[in-house]
Each structure stands twice: as structure tokens, then as C-alpha cells.
Chain A
Amino acid sequence: MSTEPPDDTDQGLALHHITVRFGGLLALDDVSLQVAPGRVVGIIGPNGAGKTTLFNVICGFVGPQSGSLTLDGKPFRPRPHHLTRRGIARTLQGVGQFGGMTVLENVLVGARSRKAEADAWAALERCGVAEHARALPGSLPYAKRKRVELARALASKPRILMLDEPAGGLDTEEIRWLAELIQGAQTTVLLVEHHMELVMSVCDEILVLDFGKPIALGTPGEIRTNEKVAEAYLGAAA
């Protein structure tokens, strides 16, 4: 199955027939996706399905062999250091913080506006780590560092927030907090995640990849009952 090519006139981010090969490996195979403003879109699939590669295409770290992207209907050639200027922020699978800089300094790097410091503090408050602003990230527990990572992304006030496995390594309570944050983000969210309960509870729409190929796109209810999805996951588990 291939998802239908998106309508160029729509607002938001759109991927058109994206294909990526790494040597002989087909990492993404004709992937199309429309991410409308304000929607929370999940990207799931077994390990090696191409989820992070898709994120890397949107960020400009990986160039597709074929296909294109549009932002608000206009051609979009992503370059990593222009992303925040285009209103896109991304977190990484790890915590990826600057070890020699304080939490506040880490978040300030992500803030772009003239009132960067106010934005940074607001993001720290929103993520519940303002009290650690003067600490080095390495001195904090993993869950707090994840929150710092989120604060850094939010500090740029993105219109599209890309979260790469934000629940990894978090306990149930932290994941509940994360779900509330995503639901209250008031922005477009792209979520790559293995934690199915989180994905099903926060996403408006879910794209399922398997070996780089899109096998399903639909609401959480539709994905839950999709046989191909179940087969892909059961196959992966086996």
C-alpha cells in the first residue's frame, strides 16, 4: 500500500513520494504524507522501518533519491540550520544536550526570538525544569534531561514539533506528563514512538512504515484494527 499523494494547496507540511536508498538498502519507499496544521501525526513501525530516516529527510540530514517536500504548498528543501527559521523544531532519540553548558544555556541556543531569554524560561517552566536552569544537564536524572530536550525544542515556538522517541526510558508517570504536553502543545506534532499507548492516546492520525514502505495511514482506531499493521508487528516480534 502507498498513501495517496497530498494536495499541494493544503497548508502544512507535505511529503510527496519520498524514496531513500542507502547503498542497496531501500530505507524509504515511495512515502507520501500530509501533515495539516495543528494535527498530531504519529509515525510508527518496527525497528528499521524508516521512521527516523523520514525525520532525517524532513530535517535535511538525508536527501531523498526521489520525491519532494512542500511547506504550505510551496517547495521545501530542508536544511538543518534553517529549520527553526521555518518554524520546525526536533528532539533527538537520546537527550543530545551540550554537556558543558547549563540547562538554561542549552535552551537559550534553541530560542530564536528577540525575547529569547523569556521564551527559554517559559519553556523551562512549561516542562517543569526551571528550578534546574543553572545546573549542568549531565547532573540531572534522565527523565529531567528529556524534559530539558523538550524545553529546548519548545523555546523556538515551533509551528511543527518533531519528537523522536520522546518516551524512551521514561516511566509511566513521565509518559502521562508527556501525553498532556503533546495534547496541549497547540502546534503541529510529528511523533516517532514505540510506546503504543502514548501514540494511540495523543495522535489524530498515524502512518505505519514497514521496511521503509507505508502500509497504513489512518486514525488510531483504524490502525488498531488494521491487519497489515498487526502482521508487521507480529512478524517483527517473531
Chain B
Amino acid sequence: MDRFLFLTFDGLSRGAVYAAFALALVLIWRATRIVNFAQGAMAVATAYVAYSVSDATGSYWLGFIVALVAGLLLGAGVERVVMRFVDHSSPLNGVVVALGLVLIIQGVLGMIYGNEFRPATAPFSRDAFEIGGVALLSRYDLFVFAAVGAVVVLLTLLFTRTPTGLRMRAAAFAPDVSRLLGVPVGGMLTLGWALAAAVGSLAGMLVIPTELGLHPTAMDIVFISAFTAAVVGGLDSPIGSVLGGLMVGLLLSYISGYLGATVAPMAVLALLVVVLLSRPDGLFSRRAKARTA
């Protein structure tokens, strides 16, 4: 039972990161119908910037903030310079461009920083403290829950309580109708990409210290898990992506804990295949319906 509890909390902590990353994918999907396969590489790029700043200044938190700002700028830049000019007549075009971005970003990072794993420190202890004699959570896990929870709350408030959030949702639902209502659709898309990339950067900063460290491909496996989480939750559903992230985190934790870590990636892929075959709209998404009524 102690082991089950430990694996559950460990899975929820990891799942929170997948949830944040899946949320970033969903934000872009809802606005542009593109799965941003470059999200992982973009997150790694901002993590490199963050750790460079931290190394230079000795302040983890300054680097952390720089990562989020760099994510905002990188996301806006990618949308304005690259994605805006993608021909949307075929959904494959956006995918191919995003995959091209992955190769470019990883190549540039390799040239600048090298292809060796670099240590990435965590701001809090990762040693689990005991509750009732059972090792459950570390301070770092609590930080992850707080950070992801704050992002989910802030994004929810943005999209439901602010005019900008309403316009972002409107622009994603029906761009032409939105334009008629005075919504600057291009600006909303840029903002959406910027926010998504910043959320991706946060996820990267949270997960990289728990992996082998910084590396140009450090987020590749995380991306697969987060993508699975987004598909499980429904690419159109922000709440679904959060729940999907927690589900995938728990699945990975239980499989790793009871069957061995080598089986876990296969389990994620199996889940992805099962969901795509049985409920391609995701477990938590309202059935795909007309985007305008």
C-alpha cells in the first residue's frame, strides 16, 4: 500500500508536468489546428537560455523567469515569422514545418551548447518527505503542483473572465466572424502561440531537472507522453489535457513501479493507439461539433 501511495503521488507530480505541456499543445491546436511538434524543442531552447542566465548570475529564479519570457518571445516569433506563412490547405503542411523547426532548433542548440548532457539543478529538494511514515512527496513535487496549478487557474481566468481571452477563443472558433466583430485575429494567434510556448517552457523547466539533464533532445520522450495526454484528453479540451496529463503520469508511474521502467514508453504508445482507435476525439472532449453554430 505504501508503494502504491508513493507511485500515485509520483505519478501525479509527473502528470502535472505532462498536463502543462499538453495544455500548451491544446492551446495551439484550438487556435490553428496544428499539432506543434516543435513544442519540445522550443521548451529545451528556452531552458538552455534559462540555465545560461542562472550560471551567469547564480540565481535560479532569474533564469526561471527568463525561460518564461523567452518562451513568450520564441512562441510569438515562430508564429509571426514561420507559422503565419504556412499554407493551411493541407494539415500536413503545418506538421512538416513544425518538424523542420525541431531539426533546426536541435541542430542550433547542439552547435552552441554541444550534444552532451548538462546538469540541470532543481530549486527545491527532490527527496520525498514522509507523511505517516510513508515517503510521498518532495518539496519539488509541491513546487510542480503549485506551478502547474497556478498556470491552469491563470489560463482559466484569462479565457473566461477577460475580453482578451474571449477574443482569443472567438478567433480560434471562427476567424472571419471574429474579424467582423473587431477581433485582431492575427494578434490573437500570436498571443496564443506566445502563451503556449511559455507554458511549454514552464513544463520544460519543471521536468528537465527530473530527467538526465539538459540536452537538445531532452524533451523528445516528454513530448510523446504529453502528446498522448493531449490526445487522451481531447485536443480541443484544455480541461481534458490536464486530466489526460495526470492519467498518463499515473500510468507511467504504476507501469514503471510494478513492471519496470523499460515497459513504460510502450505503455504510453499503447494508450495512444487505443484512444486513437476507440475515441479519436479524446476521453474528455465534447464530440467534435461545428465550430460555429
Which residues from chain A sit less than 8 Å from chain B, CB to CB? 59, 61, 80-85, 89-90, 92, 94-101, 105, 108-110, 112, 116, 136-138, 145, 152, 156
Complex CA gap A156/B163 in Å reads: 14
The verdict on B176 contacting chain A, using a C-beta distance below 8 Å, is yes
Known: A109-B183, A156-B182. A99 touches B293 (CB 8 A): yes
Cβ 8 A contact of A108, one of B166, B173, B185:
B166
Q: Which 10 A-B pairs have the closest CB atoms?
A: A84-B182, A80-B179, A138-B293, A98-B173, A99-B293, A137-B293, A81-B179, A109-B170, A97-B293, A96-B177
Is the CB–CB distance between A108 and B163 below 8 Å?
yes
Residues of A within 8 A of B183 (CB): 81, 109
Most A Cβ at <10 Å: residue of B166, B181, B184: B181
Chain B residues lying within 8 Å of A90, measured Cβ to Cβ, are 180
* Measured CA separation A99–B286 after assembly (Å): 12
Decide if B54 is an interface residue (CB 8 Å cutoff). no
Instruction: Across the interface, name the chain B residue whose C-beta is closest to A61.
Output: B176
CB under 8 Å from chain A, chain B span 173-205? 173-174, 176-185
The reply to whether B180 and A59 form a contact with Cβ atoms under 8 Å apart is: yes
**Docked-complex contact A83 and B167, CB < 8 angstroms:** no
Docked-complex contact B182 and A98, CB < 8 angstroms:
no
What are some 17 contacts across the A-B interface (CB < 8 A)? A59-B180, A61-B176, A80-B179, A92-B177, A95-B293, A97-B292, A98-B169, A98-B170, A98-B177, A98-B292, A99-B290, A100-B173, A108-B163, A109-B181, A138-B289, A138-B290, A156-B182
Contact A105 B292 (CB under 8 A): no
Output the least CB separation between A88 and chain B (Å).
9
Q: How many residues of B contact A (CB 8 A)?
A: 22
Partner of B180, one of A83, A98, A99, A145: A83
B293 neighbours in A (Cβ, 8 Å):
95, 97-99, 136-138, 145
**Bound CA span A85–B178, Å:** 13
Contacts of A101 in B (CB 8 A): 166, 169-170, 173
Chain A, Cβ-Cβ closest to B174: A98
Choice from B163, B173, B178, B184 contacting A99 with Cβ under 8 Å: B173
| B179/A96 in contact, CB under 8 A | no
How far is it, in angstroms, between the C-alpha of A80 and the C-alpha of B176 when the chains are bound?
Answer: 8
Docked pose: A145 CA to B169 CA in angstroms: 19
In contact, B182 and A82 (Cβ under 8 angstroms): yes
A110 to B177, CA, bound (A): 10
Q: How far is the CA of A90 from the CA of B176 in the complex (A)?
A: 12
Name the residue on B nearest A100 (C-beta): B173
A80-B176, A96-B177 as given contacts; A109 in contact with B292, CB under 8 Å: no
List B contacts of A105 (CB < 8 A): 166, 169
Assembled-state Cα–Cα distance A127/B154 (Å)? 34
Smallest beta-carbon distance A17→chain B, Å: 25
Known: A98-B293, A99-B291, A109-B167. 19 other contacts (CB 8 A): A80-B180, A81-B178, A81-B180, A81-B182, A81-B183, A81-B184, A83-B180, A89-B181, A90-B180, A92-B180, A95-B292, A98-B169, A100-B169, A101-B173, A109-B178, A137-B293, A138-B293, A152-B181, A156-B182
Give Cα distance in the complex from A116 to B178, angstroms. Answer: 16
Complex: how many Å from CA A145 to CA B178? Answer: 17
User: Looking across the interface, which residue of chain A has its beta carbon closest to that of B290?
Assistant: A99
Of B170, B182, B290, B291, most A-chain CB atoms within 10 Å: B182
| A99 x B177 contact (CB < 8 A) | no
Residue of B with least CB distance to A108: B166
User: Chain A's nearest CB lies how many Å from the CB of B187?
Assistant: 9
Task: Give bound CA distance, A212 to B127, whole Å.
Answer: 76
Q: Are B292 and A81 in contact (CB under 8 A)?
A: no
Q: For A138, give the chain B residue with the smallest CB separation.
A: B293
What are the residues of chain B within 8 A of A84 when measuring CB–CB? 180-182
The complex places the Cα of A43 from the Cα of B181 at a distance, in Å, of 22
Residues of B within 8 A of A80 (CB): 176, 179-180
Q: Which residues of B contact A82 (CB under 8 A)?
A: 182
Complex Cα gap A145–B290 (Å): 15
Closest chain B residue to A142, Cβ basis? B293
Bits for B11-44, please: 1 = Cβ < 8 Å to A, else 0.
0000000000000000000000000000000000
